[in-house]
Amino acid sequence: MPLKFPRRIRIFTHSIPRTTNLASFNSVARAYHRHNTSSSSAPPFLSRIFSFTSNHFSTHRPNGGETRASSRSLIEDEEELSNWVTDLRPGSLRVHLTSDDDDVDRSGGRRNQDSRGAIRNKVGSFRENRFSERGKGSNFGRSESSFRGRKERSLGRDREEGYKGLRKQRRGDVVDEESSDEDVMGGIGDLLSEEDEEEEEDEDYEFLKKKAASAFGFDRDKGVEARSDVKSSDSYLTKTRFDQYTLSPLSLKALNDAGYETMTVVQEATLPIILKGKDVLAKAKTGTGKTVAFLLPSIEVVVKSPPTSPDNKRPPILALVICPTRELANQAATEANTLLKYHPTIGVQVVIGGTRLGLEQKRMQTNPCQILVATPGRLKDHIENTPGLATRLKGVKVLVLDEADHLLDMGFRKDIERILSAVPKERQTFLFSATVPEEVRQMCLVALRRDHEFINCVHEGTGETHQQVRQTHMIASLDKHFSLLYTLLRAHIADNVDYKVIVFCTTAMVTKLVADLLGELNLNVREIHSRKPQSYRTRVSNEFRKSKGLILVTSDVSARGVDYPDVTLVLQVGLPKDREQYIHRLGRTGRKGKEGEGILLLAPWEEYFLSSLKDLPITKSSLPSTDPETVKKVQKALCHVEMRNKEAAYQAWLGYYNSQKMIGRDKERLVELANEFSRSMGLDNPPAIPKLILGKMGLKNVPGLRAK
Ligand SMILES: Nc1ncnc2c1ncn2[C@@H]1O[C@H](COP(=O)(O)OP(=O)(O)OP(=O)(O)O)[C@@H](O)[C@H]1O
């Protein structure tokens, strides 16, 4: 049977050598550090692109840094978690704080110096490659001196400013509760995004992105499209059957048992290319079967590998799947187990934060697997602390980065670098996501081979969201948000017997507040966020997956990838972190071609965010009327919410919006808005915040704040 290729998939080759060799990846980063006396969170790809102007980049070392593990046990219910994925046994969460500074100090100034020459060489050869491939039109085809011509010098300045903007924007991501693999405890999580900030202008951020993209020739990829017949129907399924490809009969049998008869668009588009041995970067809408798309060929690779002796205590790990959140890792492992139903000799294991490292180590020893699903931080911990794992990872033939754009973003950068250095260069790599912003595309190159293929299943013109999901936004002042939320939920419940709603909130502590409030209002509510123990998160996630007539109030830990069937409404309250996060959150409804609804509730001063969604079919909706009785009821319910939860929500709210560049840059206005939020919770006076934390947020002595 000849392989059937989707019709309008454009295939192109990048001319950049894979840099999973950390000598190259890190050396560029080190070069960057060297050019900046203070340490940096510079993305290596930027250093690579603009290495010869990197001395123009000036950054400020923020106090604080990435959240990591320390020692605090969170596990309540071991049995519950072990039911989730075969063999998974929960333990404790280790949380410690570290910073980019620490890492830089460890790598040492001397090493940084030594690497300079190597970096120049790498950059030079990289530029030559670009020149030979792209020709005279490319920036990389110009000589360095011509690059430093007048026009380019001004470009260098623009880049510098643009980079600052990029860094500033991303800083929030680094410590976002969901970006971080670990739970963040003791009120620090919501605050770490509020490191001391120097006022910087970001106007050139967009300019930088465009320049970076065109420097890599990415503009030309815009036309990469999926099948034309899919466009009209927006159907997620194709007519192509799995048995049309040469796949293991045992996998086919499992697919059949799972009810997967024909392929989804992304599966049909990627499978033939992956089976040919290519690296793939795939973009496909939410809920369209990306997990099977990368797991099925990964299992094929394992099936085709020579079996390891049962006496081998440390058999190689052949397929490594990295997911940004624990929920997602668990889910991918569950899907893998479904596909492995008739492959009794192939094992899957999960390593995630929030479980005891020791238990995972023991499990890996007693029951070694060939497929490992992991969150980045925890895998890095294992690489450094689990005897034999580094050797086992040398067997990796397939590496998958699920939610690739998020994993390659700043928040996971160091962990991913470490993981890339632990797996062989000779491997196949798959990067999947529903969103692949231009500026992240360059970072994908650190993981992919030069001849990788970018498969875009999102048709130009149809947007990245589903047509069958009705999207509206509402603008109302903060004091109306809680009443409106209640009114909207009540209306939705009245119209949908089998309602299943996800309410997304800005931070973990705001999530807690909203869940408490809705609970006080007698709605059937569950909550998931990073402050909850992993066992609880798993249990609630499992319950929500199976139930109807339930509202899940959550932070962004549920934004990406989590596959809850039949979600009828996604309600986003307050500013999403960025456009991508809006799309991923919305993607929890309308999965597998089903209908869905999304509402974005913003305050008037958040309305600017809508400009980033202007290509999406989101329309303005009028506000539902909230009768005085409802308002009173909500106010009364707010009185019953614990004071400490309100205080924590206020602090977290301030931290979150402080990290939003449009709002956080005017500190006095930010505090006015935070105090508006405080009043909306029924507080006469804004809660006092510890001086230390205010200092960390860069909010010392801002009028309107109460310090303690
Ligand atoms: N070929 C298929 N036929 C029917 N259902 C499928 C098929 N492949 C996957 N599914 C189902 O589709 C649903 C969505 O799949 P999945 O969670 O992998 O989507 P996704 O594209 O990764 O979404 P997201 O972008 O949100 O992560 C799952 O319930 C999965 O079991």
pLDDT in tens, 50-82: 222 222 222 222 232 222 222 222 222 222 222
Report yes or no on 152 lying in a domain: no
Residues 357-372, mean pLDDT to the nearest whole number: 90
Residue nearest to atom 22 of ligand 1 (CA): 290
Q: Is the CB of 283 under 6 A from ligand 1?
A: no
Report yes or no on 416 lying in a domain: yes
Strand-pair category, 550-554 with 500-504: parallel
Ligand 1 centroid from CA 605, angstroms? 36
Do 398 and 272 share a structural domain? yes
Q: Which residue among 247, 262, 292 has the greatest number of ligand 1 atoms within 8 angstroms of its CB, and so is best to mutate?
A: 292
Report yes or no on 659 lying in a domain: yes
Can you tell me the distance from the alpha carbon of 575 to that of 653, in angstroms, rounded to the nearest whole number?
A: 11
Report yes or no on 137 lying in a domain: no
Do 529 and 438 share a structural domain? no
Residue nearest to atom 15 of ligand 1 (CA): 289
Half-sphere exposure of 201 (CA within 13 A, CB side): 8
pLDDT at 165 over 50: no
What percent of the chain is modeled with pLDDT above 70? Answer: 67
Residues 6+ apart with CB under 8 A from 684: none
Residue with tokens 């997911």: 323
End-to-end CA distance of the chain: 73
Q: Is the CB of 288 under 6 A from ligand 1?
A: yes
Contact of 313 with 463, CB cutoff 8 Å:
no
Last residue of a domain, one of 434, 456, 478: 456
Ligand 1 atom with the smallest distance to the CA of 262 is 1
Residue nearest to atom 14 of ligand 1 (CA): 287
Confidence class of residue 411 from pLDDT cuts 50, 70 and 90?
Answer: confident
Can you tell me the distance from the alpha carbon of 216 to that of 535, in angstroms, rounded to the nearest whole number?
A: 44
Ligand 1 atom with the smallest distance to the CA of 338 is 31
What percent of the chain is modeled with pLDDT above 90? Answer: 58
Confidence class of residue 368 from pLDDT cuts 50, 70 and 90?
Answer: confident
Confidence class of residue 190 from pLDDT cuts 50, 70 and 90?
Answer: very low
Report yes or no on 393 lying in a domain: yes
Do 577 and 647 share a structural domain? no
Last residue of a domain, one of 624, 655, 682: 624
pLDDT of residue 425: 95
Q: 34 or 492: which carries more pLDDT confidence?
A: 492
Q: Cite the DSSP H helix spans in 315-453.
A: 326-339, 357-366, 376-385, 389-393, 404-407, 413-422, 438-444
pLDDT of residue 644: 96
Ligand 1 atom with the smallest distance to the CA of 335 is 31
pLDDT of residue 97: 22
Do 409 and 481 share a structural domain? no
Do 291 and 431 share a structural domain? yes
Contact of 374 with 294, CB cutoff 8 Å:
no
Write the CATH number for 559.
Answer: 3.40.50.300
Residue with tokens 């320390």: 70
Burial class (CB in 10 A: 0-12, 13-18, 19+), 620: exposed
Q: Is the CB of 434 under 6 A from ligand 1?
A: yes
The average confidence (pLDDT) of the chain is 73
Residues 622-651, mean pLDDT to the nearest whole number: 96
Per-residue pLDDT tens digits for 466-515: 888 999 999 999 999 999 999 999 999 999 999 999 999 999 999 999 99
Confidence class of residue 438 from pLDDT cuts 50, 70 and 90?
Answer: confident
Residues 298-309, mean pLDDT to the nearest whole number: 92
Q: Which of 96-110, 305-319, 375-389, 463-477 has the lowest mean pLDDT?
A: 96-110
Residues 193-199, mean pLDDT to the nearest whole number: 25
Do 485 and 374 share a structural domain? no
pLDDT of residue 449: 93
Q: Is the CB of 591 under 6 A from ligand 1?
A: yes
pLDDT at 177 over 90: no
pLDDT at 607 over 60: yes
Confidence class of residue 441 from pLDDT cuts 50, 70 and 90?
Answer: confident
Report yes or no on 410 lying in a domain: yes
Can you tell me the distance from the alpha carbon of 470 to that of 597, in angstroms, rounded to the nearest whole number?
A: 5
Do 279 and 378 share a structural domain? yes
pLDDT at 558 over 90: yes
Q: Is the CB of 590 under 6 A from ligand 1?
A: no
Ligand 1 centroid from CA 565, angstroms? 10
Q: Which residue among 264, 298, 337 has the greatest number of ligand 1 atoms within 8 angstroms of its CB, and so is best to mutate?
A: 264
Q: 148 or 372: which carries more pLDDT confidence?
A: 372
Last residue of a domain, one of 564, 591, 624: 624
Confidence class of residue 120 from pLDDT cuts 50, 70 and 90?
Answer: very low
Kindly tell me the sign of the dihedral angle through the C-alpha atoms of 585, 588, 594, 598.
negative
Do 566 and 425 share a structural domain? no
Q: Is the CB of 49 under 6 A from ligand 1?
A: no
pLDDT at 588 over 90: yes
Residues 635-644, mean pLDDT to the nearest whole number: 97
Ligand 1 centroid from CA 476, angstroms? 35
Can you tell me the distance from the alpha carbon of 12 to that of 456, in angstroms, rounded to the nearest whole number?
A: 12
pLDDT at 685 over 90: yes
Structural domain that includes position 619: 465-624
Ligand 1 centroid from CA 266, angstroms? 10
pLDDT of residue 549: 97
**Predicted complex: ipTM over 0.90:** yes
Q: Is the CB of 436 under 6 A from ligand 1?
A: no
Ligand 1 centroid from CA 166, angstroms? 32
Q: 96 or 636: which carries more pLDDT confidence?
A: 636
pLDDT at 182 over 80: no
β-pair partners for 72: 93
Do 650 and 612 share a structural domain? no
Q: Is the CB of 563 under 6 A from ligand 1?
A: yes
Report yes or no on 568 lying in a domain: yes
Residue with tokens 């996604």: 570
pLDDT of residue 173: 29
β-pair partners for 572: 504, 600
pLDDT of residue 461: 66
Q: Is the CB of 587 under 6 A from ligand 1?
A: yes
Q: Which of 99-108, 231-240, 292-301, 332-341 has the lowest mean pLDDT?
A: 99-108
The total number of structural domains that make up the chain: 3
Do 405 and 492 share a structural domain? no
Ligand 1 centroid from CA 208, angstroms? 35
Kindly tell me the sign of the dihedral angle through the C-alpha atoms of 494, 498, 504, 509.
positive
pLDDT at 403 over 80: yes
Can you tell me the distance from the alpha carbon of 374 to that of 284, in angstroms, rounded to the nearest whole number?
A: 22
Do 652 and 584 share a structural domain? no
Do 388 and 251 share a structural domain? yes
Report yes or no on 130 lying in a domain: no
